[in-house]
């Protein structure tokens, strides 16, 4: 296996582990006010995380054999964001926090399985 193929394999596995929301659940979440208000907004437009969430829905619905290098690059971005954001978990109940909402925009519900 080439180094690129091994990297893509690792990216795929980590992405599938960290993105805990189904495409349908993520799509439904992205339609909420909480989703649209979370994250960093440039010039009052769509937040980076919200745009990423839409891309994640597409990635989850794409056959693995059809993924491009650009897709894998976005998957690596998602994995990195989720890891960094999880490390910043606030204390207390996170059910209705911007921290959780931001993670959910990136396809990870930290309360899934709780």
Instruction: Summarize the confidence of residues 83-89 as an average pLDDT.
Output: 96
Model confidence over 44-69: pLDDT tens digits?
Answer: 788 888 999 999 999 999 999 999 99
Mean pLDDT in the chain? 92
| β-bridge mates for residue 41, sequence order | 47
CA distance 33 to 5: 39
pTM of the shown model: 0.90
Residue 41 dihedral angles phi and psi, to the nearest 5°: -110, 135
The residue among 11, 10, 27 whose CA lies nearest residue 104 is 27
- Residue 20 · residue 109 · CB < 8 Å: yes
């Amino acid at each position: 296996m080439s180094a690129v193929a091994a990297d893509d394999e690792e990216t795929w596995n980590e992405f599938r582990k960290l993105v805990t929301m189904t495409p349908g659940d993520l799509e439904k979440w992205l339609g909420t006010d909480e989703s649209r208000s979370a994250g960093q907004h440039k010039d009052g437009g769509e937040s980076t995380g919200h745009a990423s969430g839409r891309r994640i829905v597409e990635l989850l619905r794409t056959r693995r054999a059809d993924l491009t290098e650009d897709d894998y690059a976005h998957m690596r971005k998602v994995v990195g964001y989720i890891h960094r954001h999880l490390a910043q978990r606030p204390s207390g109940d996170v059910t209705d926090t911007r921290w959780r909402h931001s993670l959910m925009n990136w396809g990870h519900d930290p309360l899934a399985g709780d």
